[in-house]
């Protein structure tokens, strides 16, 4: 780690590199298993590393199994807006919710869990899907002067994109490192996410 200056204001935000988002996981993202090696290497250039961990109760409302008759990947309307229904994934304290075993980020300073409220999903590292209930991450980063965010992880078009867009909205400088992300791509969601991110001033690196 060469940049450990106390004034270092860059932070690597590693989104949801968990077993369930890797091949053989419950909500497998193609190529997800390629990320640990890439991110381990990248992380050496960052003094500050923060991880997010998708962390759902077993009856979470984003699971198709919580809505009899509904199938995974269909969309429904919840009080806070449209919600895609997912296969059960990242259930608290299960193997699927653990970080990929090859991830070696021992200098990670904070793990932020999200999606733990049954009634509401949370793609973004900053807000629940109502886009108003904060996770506390913005306050943490601001208090520590970490205002230049570099995002990597899973999935590009959901948790990475939502986090990047919220970070821009909150006034952070944001770069998404494309080679260290993988997408789900439901009905063009990957291209749409990049378009939205670019319009919001996210740097695509």
Q: Which is nearer to ligand VGL, 54 or 128 (CB)?
A: 54
Is the separation of the CB atoms in 88 and 148 below 8 Å? Answer: no
Q: 3-state DSSP call for residue 193?
A: helix
- Known active-site residue 108: no
User: Cβ of residue 85: shortest distance to ligand VGL, in angstroms?
Assistant: 10
Q: Give me the catalytic one of 22, 88, 114, 181.
A: 114
* Contact range with ligand VGL by CB under 6 A, out of 73-81, 150-158, 166-174, 188-196: 150-158
Distances (CA, A) of 1 to 15, 41, 42, 149: 21, 11, 10, 17
Radius of gyration of the chain (CA): 16
User: Per CB under 6 A, which of residues 101..130 are in contact with ligand VGL?
Assistant: 123
Q: Residue from 17, 54, 149, 164 that binds ligand VGL (CB under 6 A)?
A: 54
Count of residues near ligand VGL by CB under 6 A? 9
User: Per CB under 6 A, which of residues 80..99 are in contact with ligand VGL?
Assistant: 86
* Residue 155 binds ligand VGL, judged by CB under 6 A: yes
Q: 3-state DSSP call for residue 96?
A: helix
Question: Rounded to 5 degrees, what are φ and ψ at 85?
Answer: -90, 130
What does the alpha-carbon distance between residue 138 and residue 176 come to, in Å, rounded to a whole number?
17
Is the separation of the CB atoms in 49 and 31 below 8 Å? Answer: no
What does the alpha-carbon distance between residue 198 and residue 175 come to, in Å, rounded to a whole number?
10
- Known active-site residue 88: no
Q: Residue from 20, 54, 88, 128 that binds Zn ion (CB under 5 A)?
A: 54
- Interface positions with ligand VGL (CB under 6 A): 16, 21, 54, 86, 123, 154-155, 158-159
Q: Which residues are catalytic?
A: 16, 114, 159
- Interface positions with Zn ion (CB under 5 A): 54, 115
């Amino acid at each position: 780690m060469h940049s450990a200056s106390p004034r270092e204001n860059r932070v690597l935000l590693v989104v949801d590199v968990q077993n369930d988002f890797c091949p053989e996981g419950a909500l497998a993202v193609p190529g997800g298993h390629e990320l640990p090696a890439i991110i381990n290497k990248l992380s050496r250039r960052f003094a500050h590393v923060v991880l997010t961990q998708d962390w759902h109760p077993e009856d979470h409302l984003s699971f198709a199994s919580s809505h009899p008759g509904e199938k995974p990947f269909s969309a429904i309307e919840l009080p806070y807006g449209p919600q895609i229904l997912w296969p059960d994934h990242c259930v608290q304290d299960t193997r699927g919710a653990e970080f990929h075993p090859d991830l070696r980020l021992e200098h990670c300073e904070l793990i932020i869990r999200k999606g733990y409220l049954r009634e509401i999903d949370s793609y973004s590292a900053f807000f629940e899907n109502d886009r108003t209930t904060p996770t506390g991450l913005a306050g943490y980063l601001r208090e520590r002067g970490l205002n230049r965010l570099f995002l990597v992880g899973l999935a590009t078009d959901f948790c990475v994109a939502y986090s990047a867009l919220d970070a821009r909205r909150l006034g952070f400088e944001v770069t998404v490192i494309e080679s260290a992300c993988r997408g789900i791509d439901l009905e063009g969601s990957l291209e749409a996410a990049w378009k939205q991110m670019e319009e919001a001033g996210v740097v695509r690196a």
